[in-house]
Amino acid sequence: MFMKKNKKFFKYFREYQWSNILAMIKNNRSDPKICSDDFKNKFVVISGATSGIGYYTAKKFAAKGANLICINRNIQKSKDLCREIESEFGVKCDYLIADLSILKDIYQVAEQLINYNTPIDVIIHNAGIYLTKKEVTNDGLEKVFVVHHLSTFIINYLLMDKLISQQQARIIMVGSEGHRFAAWGIHIDDLNWEKHRYSGLKSYGTAKTAQLLSMIVFDEKFRNTGVTINTVHPGAVKSETGQENGPVYRWFKKNFLDKTLKSPDISAEALYYLGVAKEIEAVSGKFFNLTTEEEPAPPALDKEVAYELWNKSMELAGLDK
């Protein structure tokens, strides 16, 4: 095991290029491309839609005529959101209540989406958390990993047949440049952080890298079906992520981090472009910084690890049974 990890370290070390880092810095200053096309009577699924990026994205799609299903944790906020959207834009807005850190809830959401008679045109996996201290769910899994990776993995996997039968759909995972915090790869044998020291940045980087690795395999399975899957860094924007942490972190975020961040409007524009623009309808398996295609860090491009993670995710989710 040590030799394998050692080989991966040197493999990734050789693959890192300064040009990719410089491109990321440049792209972080860029504005997203704008899509002005309508999306009337299309059906869009968005998770984490009651605040931040999800809220602005839901309103953007609704303003263009799309009907929505929003996956959220809070029933009152979901009711308020749908009431606001239906009143303002005259579209249909429904919601599903689920905690995407709980496997039972994730399966329930996937089953409900499968049973919708309406074809799903766009799925946006936006729900996310950031924790400074490790939390383990009732399923015995590290919470950040479940919310960012395993929930999207399960939903995508269970919806595969439905989406392929439609012959057209776009899956967009809200990823992050934060995947680069897992600079030397992920520990598939220690996804619960029992052997390695936990930190918020490392757990977040691991979860976001896992997301990108799953995209490699899903892209292969969706090839030539009309279904595409891409991941997007939504820009450095204000969000509610991190509210689960202690008062010191929340104070620092409010008084320092948030003052440097942009409005989630730019994220909504990017997600609308990736979900609707005709010029990228056949583009799949790519990572975008807003709407600019970018090369992820080497650990997120490792096909061998992608298949190892796929098998491990099947096991953790109970899908192998």
- Residues classed as catalytic: 204
Rounded to 5 degrees, φ, ψ at 30 are -85, 155
Q: From CA 151, how far away is CA 153, in angstroms rounded?
A: 5
The residue count of the chain comes to 321
Q: Quote the tokens at residue 102.
A: 């709980």
Taking residue 221's Cβ as centre, other Cβ atoms within 10 Å add up to: 14
Q: Quote the tokens at residue 100.
A: 């995407």
Q: From CA 120, how far away is CA 171, in angstroms rounded?
A: 10
Q: Quote the tokens at residue 165.
A: 């039968």
Q: From CA 86, how far away is CA 89, in angstroms rounded?
A: 6
- Select from 168, 153, 141 the least CA-distant residue to 231: 153
Q: Read out DSSP for 163-211?
A: HHHHT-EEEEEE--GGGGGSTT---GGGTT-SSS---HHHHHHHHHHHH
